[in-house]
Amino acid sequence: MKAAVVNEFKGPLETKDIPRPEIKAKDVLVKIHACGVCHTDLHACHGDWPVKPKMPLVPGHEGVGEIVEVGSEIHHLSVGDRVGIPWLYSACGHCDYCLEGKETLCLDQQNAGYSVDGSYAEYCLADGEYVVKIPDGLSYVDAAPLFCAGVTTYKALKVTEVKPGEWVAIIGVGGLGHLAVQYAVAMGMNVIAVDTGAEKLELAQKLGAKHCIDFMQDTPSAKIIELTGGGAHGVVCTAVSQPAFKEAYRAIRRGGACVLVGLPPEEMPIPIFDTVLNGVKVVGSIVGTRKDLKECLQFAAEGKVKAITEVKQLEDINDIFAEMEKGEITGRIVMDMS
């Protein structure tokens, strides 16, 4: 089968033939129809984080397609089912985190396109217990970005605990952020979007943001405090930039929450005095559970959220990564593999 493979950190991806994976009893084999390109895939190929991925690696954790083979111990799925293979490729299913509905925190998890091969390929193996079905009527290209960008931002918004009518600031309106804006609007929040360049900010406005701030022209935190009369009730930071996190922290209202989603490799210095006196929360949020995914897909099936996509091919992956590094992508690039 055809796949895009990275052989060494920071090396180019090579599109080549590799053996099609064999299923075991609890697996399904998915013929991939589309796969979104997440900035995490770029971090994986660069070896940016303390925990390193397998190498060589087939990246990709926004892969969607149809099941073509079902393992002997999987009884709730059939050949032909339309599913996606998320970042949470599998979890143990019996630790305290898994039992409490916090499976994304399981210490015994596998991650698609990181610890196991992902969906930058014609076929991808998946754990039958962890794939999630795509609602009827939602196309593969529209569904793909929801399997990471969608579920991650939908979950992060829940973590902010912002109520309808309150202010949420979305820092970074890229692949994740442009969906964050839409989920926040659909959840009844008042949205302020922060990024740079007319194209991204006009998109954020079109998607329902009440105010848009260009971080190259204004100091986002000062502007957010002014616009909201004291700061946002919640901030979701998806930017791949340490200064963006400083701004995100400064933009929170007393008692509010700053939710960290983007994963630049640097640290985020937090002032103890202000954190205590202002009673603010700084909290990390990692993707979402199968239940979060099901809910976030339903928003799209009902037409409340729609990923803005540009369709490209697997062979374009090195150019896509180059564009992503320069921050030149508006919305999400999805590779059509059908």
Interacting positions 133-162 with ligand NAD (CB under 6 A): 148, 152
Q: Using the rule CB under 6 A, is 89 a contact of ligand NAD?
A: no
Q: Which two tokens stand for residue 247?
A: 């701004």
Residues facing 310 on adjacent strands: 333
H or E element at residue 63: strand 63-70
Residue 43 or 233: which CB sits closer to ligand NAD?
Answer: 43
CB 78 within 8 A of CB 125: no
Which one of 110, 139, 241, 275 is in contact with ligand NAD (CB under 6 A)? 241
**CA atoms of 226 and 232, how far apart (whole Å):** 10
Query: What per-residue string of b and e applies to 208-241 under the rule 16 or more CB within 10 Å gives b?
Result: ebebbbebeeeebbebbbebbeebbbbbbbbbbb
Taking the complex as a whole, how short is the minimal distance between the CB of residue 282 and ligand NAD, in angstroms?
Answer: 14
Window contacting ligand NAD (CB under 6 A); options: 62-70, 117-125, 241-249, 313-321: 241-249
3-class DSSP assignment, residue 236: strand
Window contacting ligand NAD (CB under 6 A); options: 7-15, 17-25, 116-124, 240-248: 240-248
* DSSP codes of every residue in 73-97: T--S--TT-EEEE-SEEE--SSSHH
Nearest to 63 by CA among 176, 153, 147: 147
Using CB positions, name the residue nearest to ligand NAD: 174
Q: Which residue has the tokens 């918004």?
A: 157
**CA atoms of 187 and 141, how far apart (whole Å):** 23
CB 140 within 8 A of CB 34: yes
Give residue 93's identity as a one-letter amino acid code: G
172 contact choice in ligand NAD, Zn ion, none (CB below 5 to 8 Å, kind-dependent) = ligand NAD
Q: Using the rule CB under 5 A, is 95 a contact of Zn ion?
A: yes
Task: Calculate Rg over the CA atoms of the chain.
Answer: 19
194 contact choice in ligand NAD, Zn ion, none (CB below 5 to 8 Å, kind-dependent) = ligand NAD
Q: Using the rule CB under 6 A, is 106 a contact of ligand NAD?
A: no
Q: Using the rule CB under 6 A, is 238 a contact of ligand NAD?
A: yes
Taking the complex as a whole, how short is the minimal distance between the CB of residue 71 and ligand NAD, in angstroms?
Answer: 28
Interacting positions 43-82 with ligand NAD (CB under 6 A): 43
Q: Using the rule CB under 5 A, is 4 a contact of Zn ion?
A: no
Contacts with ligand NAD, 286-305, as mask; x by CB under 6 A: xx------------------
Which one of 23, 42, 92, 286 is in contact with Zn ion (CB under 5 A)? 92
Which one of 59, 118, 234, 262 is in contact with ligand NAD (CB under 6 A)? 262
Taking the complex as a whole, how short is the minimal distance between the CB of residue 196 and ligand NAD, in angstroms?
Answer: 6
Q: How far apart are the first and last CA of the chain?
A: 13
Q: Using the rule CB under 6 A, is 85 a contact of ligand NAD?
A: no
Q: Using the rule CB under 6 A, is 172 a contact of ligand NAD?
A: yes
Cβ neighbours, 10 Å, residue 267 = 8
Residue 30 or 287: which CB sits closer to ligand NAD?
Answer: 287
Q: Using the rule CB under 5 A, is 83 a contact of Zn ion?
A: no
**CA atoms of 5 and 324, how far apart (whole Å):** 18
Q: Using the rule CB under 6 A, is 250 a contact of ligand NAD?
A: no
Q: Using the rule CB under 6 A, is 179 a contact of ligand NAD?
A: no
**CA atoms of 55 and 280, how far apart (whole Å):** 40
- The residues of the shown chain that bind ligand NAD, judged by CB under 6 A, are 38-40, 43, 148, 152, 171-177, 194-196, 200, 215, 238-241, 243-244, 261-263, 285-287, 324, 327, 329
